[in-house]
A = this chain, B = another copy of it.
Amino acid sequence: MSDHFPHVPRIEFEGPESDNPFAFRHYQADRLVEGKPMRDHLRFASCFWHTMRNGLADPFGDPTADMPWESGRRDPLDLIRVRLDAFFELLSKLSIGHWCFHDRDIAPEGSTPAESERLLDAAVAHAEGLQNATGIRTLWGTANLFSHPRYVHGAATSDSPEVFARAAAQVATAMEATQRLGGRGYVFWGGREGYSTLLNTDLAREQRHLARMLQLAATHADTIGFTGSLYIEPKPQEPTIHQYDFDAATCLAFLREHGLAGRFKLNIETNHATLAGHSMEHELQVAAAAGALGSIDANMGDEHAGWDTDRFPTDPMLATKVMLEVLAMGGFSDGGLNFDAKRRRGSFEPIDLVHAHVAGMDAFARGLLAAAAIRADGRFARARHERYAGWDSPLGRSIEDGTATLASLRDHARAAPEPTLTSSRQEVLESWMWRFI
């Protein structure tokens, strides 16, 4: 094992009262919750791009992050290995069992496709060794189809089919890398699949191209025997002014239109949900109602910022709402909680990587415990059940089963008294929620 975080011990659980910054106050991997260990409920992953490759530059400033492990190294293979070493050391010390990556995070683009593939191959080989040594697994992989200038007008939705071909090549290779690393899933985030202006855009044709890419990818997965889940990840905008995968409902409309509904699930990210004008729990419920809730990018936005801030999710109330949905669907199958989160630009010391992950893990551990307590308490479930009890009456059933007609319902209404309604008690329910935090 490398020693790039020399002063960081393995983080252990010490309980809520601990003042040790290198201890969990809530996360206890083996603790059973609803009969399953916390580690399996939460299935934490860290992402290579923010944790290892994000220098914390922003549109107005240069990188600030201190990454001593890179110091003095120039050779691409050397850098590939040292970053992976530091990353797996960090994850081991944090007891994080999974990771996620883009192809271009773990290996840089070469000057030719062949060189890019060679570099990626070396990275995968090194990662494989580290996975074997540590037991850490790949949650999902993906291809970066948005950073290179060739994707300026989109990847699958570029005006150039040559660019589509380059993107297709990257997807094929990234999926194979994911398979080789035993990845549980493969994600499509359409960072450039959208538009800057409709004045020059053939929206319908571009969306057909996007669907084609997904169809080809699904076929490729079958061909190579990749059995992990395939996901698309909604985001409303940024970098483009409008992205085709705006939110969960938009993705579902698209998947249904193009016959992809059973084949792709959704990877829902908190900050993307809120940028689209939804709460995270809304997006999770929309996906879950369609049987399409696959995996979660656990981060959070800033209430007053109109861009993707990817903050670490330090809010236990948010985590509670997320975990309620995860528990409601019976837990993750292939998915997990990926910290698609970056430290603030002012948190530039290596140790902040530790602090930020610990903060996120503790918030989610607290959220899991609160969610389980809410379920055990039963109050919310009972209140919801009672609220809709009328629908289990003969009238309700006749509507749900389709035997009523507008005319028969009109006859009913003409004869019936004014319906009796009860308060929806929102203030009480809001107050109840906070009992469990």
Contacts and interface: CB of A to CB of B under 8 A. Distances in A.
A426 B61 contact: no
B239 A60 contact: yes
Interface stretch (A2-10, A70-78, A199-207): A199-207
Interface in A37-72: 58-64
A227 interface: no
Contact of A410 (B173, B281, B422): B173
A409 interface: yes
Contacts of A171: 406
A362 B431 contact: yes
Contacts of A285: 198, 203-204
A153 interface: yes
A355 interface: yes
A47 to B, nearest CB: 14
A84 to B, nearest CB: 23
Contacts of A161: 390-391, 393, 395-396, 399
A421 B150 contact: yes
A58 B200 CA distance: 21
Contacts of A164: 399, 409
A192 B61 contact: yes
A289 B204 contact: yes
Interface in A418-437: 418-431, 433-435, 437
A306 B352 CA distance: 28
B152 A406 contact: no
A121 to B, nearest CB: 14
Contact of A390 (B159, B199, B359, B405): B159
Nearest to A359: B431
Contact of A400 (B113, B208, B345, B437): B208
A400 B166 contact: no
A138 interface: no
B406 A219 contact: yes
Nearest to A254: B249
19 contacts: A60-B192, A61-B147, A113-B414, A150-B421, A159-B390, A160-B420, A161-B390, A168-B406, A172-B410, A197-B344, A197-B430, A201-B384, A204-B289, A212-B400, A237-B277, A241-B304, A250-B253, A256-B256, A348-B423
Given A16-B435, A197-B430, A437-B437, 4 more contacts: A163-B421, A168-B413, A220-B405, A315-B430
In the complex, the 10 A-B pairs of residues with the closest C-beta atoms, listed nearest first = A306-B306, A346-B424, A253-B253, A168-B409, A162-B419, A359-B431, A169-B410, A161-B396, A169-B413, A249-B250
